[in-house]
Amino acid sequence: MAKKLSIRDIATDLNISKTTISFILNGKAKENRISNLLIDKVLKYIEEKKFKPNQLAKSLSTGKTMIIGLMVEKISDYFFAQIAYHIEEIAYQNGYKIIYCSTDDDIQKTRELIALFRERHVDGYIITPPAGIEQEIQELCNDGLPVVLFDRFFPDIDTSYVILDNYQASYDAVSYLISKKYKNIALVELDSEQTQMRDRFLGYQNALAAHDMPSLIKKIPFANSLDQTVEELVAFMKINGQIDALFFATNYLAFSGIKALNQLNLKIPEDIAIIGFDDHEIFNIYKPSITAVAQPLMELANQSINALLNMMNSKKTGENPQKIIVKADLIIRDSTDSSQRSRI
């Protein structure tokens, strides 16, 4: 096997110092007044030899790994998968690679992943944090590391974040159902203290309160399987037969809800209306199509990666954190068509 070429070998073969070679490879030739002739000589040589500088050595000389750590709740989820794709695309255009992983909303797993990213010396972090990870996020900030929280945040930690206006999105969705004369609107949400879930709950509650209407809430454990959730929702609907509309706090809860309604032989929207939070391509294909709160994926991804890039390019990482709140869209489809109702 041929010996792998090193910077020392290049310096020896060309009779140039290793420092000069390093400056040229790291784009610092001009500021160190290295001649164009010498630059061309080195670049031609490494092209002929197909030399690739060691990434660790390069990171030590530049202070950057050109890697970003992206931690989301579940990378297989449609919403997070789309966000990750767009973030990776923009990062690549700016010379960065992405390492991404799922926390599964697990505190210990998240701690271990943050420790792993620290060991890898990633240049910045985009994190969808589970509740209970506040200390680790604060430590990243205290150490001057660029951090952007995504989808949820910690009110007591002064860091950059990009979130949806979950409260207003939820308020508007429930208000729409009320405008369509639905009287008994139930919320199906995750049993979670996450900020985005709390805001969706508050939007639901306040929209009903504004019209003196009763609330009815079903909390689903995060760790539930689809079948477990379906079973719980079937029981919930049997007990609460007066429900004429369901508002699901996530799209995967809506999938479980649709399956539960099918088992109960309840028709959408004739017997019951539904709205799902987080639009999904299946919602537009399903018959009837499903009304949904749509998060602007591209804008959320752009805002997140650009906020992080700005921090990484700034010499004062912790100053003036960006608090970005993005508006949602309510996509009206057939599942809330009150003209199809079989009962008033």
**273-277: strand order across its sheet:** 216-220, 185-190, 245-248, 273-277, 291-294, 329-331
CA-wise closest residue to 159 among 172, 170, 146, 168 = 146
Query: DSSP E strands: which ranges in 4-159?
Result: 67-72, 97-102, 124-127, 147-150
pLDDT band at 7 (very low <50, low <70, confident <90, very high): confident
- Please tell me the number of Cα atoms within 13 Å of 53 on its side-chain side: 21
- The maximal CA–CA distance of the chain, rounded, in angstroms, is 89
Sketch out the chain's domains with CATH numbers.
7-62 (1.10.260.40), 67-164+297-327 (3.40.50.2300), 166-295+330-340 (3.40.50.2300)
Q: Taking a C-beta distance cutoff of 8 angstroms, is the pair 121, 65 a contact? A: yes
Least confident window among 29-43, 201-215, 288-302: 29-43
Checking if the pLDDT of 63 tops 70, the result is: no
Quote the tokens at residue 17.
């110092």
Exposed e or buried b per residue across 234-252, where buried means at least 16 C-beta atoms within 10 angstroms of its C-beta = bebbeeeeebbbbbbbbbb
Checking if the pLDDT of 87 tops 50, the result is: yes
> Distance between CA 322 and CA 159 in Å, rounded?
7
Q: Which residue has the higher pLDDT, 141 or 33?
A: 141
pTM across the whole model: 0.79
pLDDT band at 121 (very low <50, low <70, confident <90, very high): confident
State the chain's mean pLDDT as an integer: 90
pLDDT band at 343 (very low <50, low <70, confident <90, very high): low
pLDDT band at 280 (very low <50, low <70, confident <90, very high): very high
Written as one string, the DSSP assignment of 22-57 is: HHHHTT-TTTTT--HHHHHHHHHHHHHHT----HHH
For residues 129-158, average pLDDT = 94
pLDDT band at 47 (very low <50, low <70, confident <90, very high): confident
Q: What confidence score (pLDDT) does residue 290 get?
A: 98
Q: What confidence score (pLDDT) does residue 62 get?
A: 57
Q: What confidence score (pLDDT) does residue 53 get?
A: 62
What are 158-194's pLDDT values in tens digits?
Answer: 999 999 999 999 999 999 999 999 999 999 999 988 8
Checking if the pLDDT of 344 tops 60, the result is: no
> Distance between CA 274 and CA 288 in Å, rounded?
10
Q: What confidence score (pLDDT) does residue 228 get?
A: 97
For residues 80-98, average pLDDT = 94
Q: Reduce the secondary structure of 174-235 to three states and give it as a string.
A: HHHHHHCCCCCEEEEEECCCCHHHHHHHHHHHHHHHCCCCCCEEEEECCCCCHHHHHHHHHH
pLDDT band at 2 (very low <50, low <70, confident <90, very high): very low
Checking if the pLDDT of 156 tops 70, the result is: yes
Least confident window among 29-38, 305-314, 324-333: 29-38
CA-wise closest residue to 281 among 239, 216, 333, 209 = 333
Least confident window among 12-26, 45-59, 97-111, 114-128: 45-59
What are 214-237's pLDDT values in tens digits?
Answer: 999 999 998 899 999 999 999 999
Q: What confidence score (pLDDT) does residue 170 get?
A: 98
Percentage of the chain modeled with pLDDT above 90 = 73
Q: What confidence score (pLDDT) does residue 38 get?
A: 87
Q: Which residue has the higher pLDDT, 7 or 216?
A: 216
> Distance between CA 313 and CA 110 in Å, rounded?
26
For residues 6-14, average pLDDT = 82
